[in-house]
Amino acid sequence: MREVEIVKVDVSAKTAQKIKDYVAEEKPLSIFIDKTQYATIYCSPTNLKELAVGHLLAEGIIKSIEEVESIDFKEKNICYVKLKPNIDFEKRLKLSQHFSRIILSACGGPHQPSKRLPKIKSNLKVKAETILDCVRNLNFMAETFRKTGGTHAAAIYRSDGNRVAFAEDVGRHNAVDKVIGSGALKKIDFGDCFLALSGRLTGDIVFKSAKVGLPIVASLAAALDSGIAVAKDADLTLIGFVRGKRMNIYNFPERILS
């Protein structure tokens, strides 16, 4: 985040004063794979290694962190990913159907066809109270949001509520990519974890989660029909409006214990 000077107007008090305030930052991150420019992502300039790894996993470019030989940042906003020699990047790129090489923070692009997703087989069970507590905790952890009001938050938890990863970003899909990347770098089993986030449950968000095998996705915000459709095709438990003591479960409620 960055400090800026603003004029704060209070209409009821009929006052205007110059003060300093914080705003969220947005910067481009260019990702090169084996010397080929793959994409430029507009994002918050934090946890960039995690963002690159999580994005490549969620888009199907890599299947696991073991397929990556090295990740280097020769400049702040340029990431060079070298895949292991047996990985055919061009073939993976075609299969991923990655439509946009410029990815704006406002949207994650069209979600992939859900028929490409395998069914989630996880036996994970989580108490409803744990889901409520973990989603509620996003507000306490989101320092940049509290100061700027301009970011989304995401976190990955184990079934007992133990946090594995947390990230904020100006883009909700970037925040999800960051925690996926963080989890992958720590070599966690996504099938034993669930995702909590602050943003809307769109098709692209649910696709990313299902692609890496996260069986439960829960948000403060609403689910869209595209997100519900992907969740149904993948047998993913989708939960929206997690607020107070309530939540709406849109699919596969069997994983949630009352």
* 107 is an active site residue: yes
Q: Can you tell me the distance from the alpha carbon of 160 to that of 146, in angstroms, rounded to the nearest whole number?
A: 26
Q: Provide the 8-state DSSP code for 145.
A: H
Length of the chain: 258
Give how far Cα 68 sits from Cα of 11, 54, 61, 88, Å. Answer: 55, 12, 11, 12
What DSSP designation does 201 have?
B
Tokens of 218: 């829960």
Q: 82 burial class (0-12, 13-18, 19+ CB within 10 angstroms)?
A: middle
The active-site residue, picked from 43, 107, 134, 193, is 107
- Sign of torsion, CA 87 205 249 164? positive
Q: Which residues contact 244 (CB under 8 A, 6 or more apart)?
A: none
Pairing mode, if any, of strands 36-43 and 102-103? parallel
Q: Please choose, from the candidates 212, 224, 225, the residue with its C-alpha nearest in 3D space to the C-alpha of residue 120.
A: 212
Q: How far apart are CA 32 and CA 79, in angstroms?
A: 6
Active site residues: 107
